[in-house]
Copies of this chain bind each other. A is one copy, B any other.
């Protein structure tokens, strides 16, 4: 282009304070260059960290990012799918709230929208998840080594994949030693349900040495329930969590837990999305974080 013309154009841009309108561009190019991140609860640090990881990758590729919060509800999730269809996003990093609506998902996929599952695996979708089963098994092996033998397990809703994987790793590790858990209880992944389930177990099950929780928040709730019954942690009762969210390291005694790389999970999911991956599950390793909420159990 002639330098003079270029200068005149640049001058006009400045003068009019011109910014290209993305909507018009998207309409003409038939590409919105927008992707969405759909999570169950953005105010949960685990998911917001995951969303951050995903957004960082999208941002580098010049894509706009829409963060949608399904508020732990499949119905809200469905509403969001409608919006995303109307927005014509090109892809979605998806953390399902529970068992996702297969019909909606099919419609989205038929429209050519790529969807990658993150953290929680969805049948028929490519995805990135943490090695929950192994992480849970390693944790359990560590607890067995410490000398714990009488276990109770509290966790989230049964229909969530990560809940089942963690439970399975736990049970398999126990089976190797010929041990059965004294109790297994399901609730929501909240502080309140952690408290309630632990309280119920402590008052109805004899001789529990340790409560293994499906996530950190439940573990903290359980610890509180133990305290309220006058039990000291780890002296009278061991407690473990899962996720290694920020506060797991802030509470005293520091929680024994398993780190799930939330940011990396989001990052990897978005990378899979941008590479156009259509299938396959990538599994990221977890890491055992020993804390002072468990201690060697002399026998």
Contact = CB atoms under 8 A, between A and B. Distances in A.
Given A42-B51, A45-B43, A88-B23, A107 B17 contact: yes
A87 B252 contact: no
Interface in A83-135: 83, 85-88, 107, 110-111
Contacts of A191: 246, 250
- The complex is assembled from copies of this chain, and their number is 2
B22 A87 contact: yes
A82 interface: yes
Interface string A142-154: 0000000000000
A66 interface: yes
A22 to B, nearest CB: 5
A67 B66 CA distance: 6
A222 to B, nearest CB: 12
A246 B83 CA distance: 31
Interface stretch (A5-13, A24-32, A165-173): A24-32
Contact of A220 (B21, B22, B250): B250
Given A17-B110, A20-B86, A23-B26, 9 more contacts: A17-B107, A22-B86, A24-B27, A27-B27, A52-B69, A65-B67, A247-B247, A247-B250, A251-B252
14 contacts: A19-B86, A23-B88, A27-B27, A42-B42, A42-B52, A43-B48, A55-B69, A64-B66, A65-B68, A66-B66, A247-B247, A247-B251, A250-B250, A252-B252
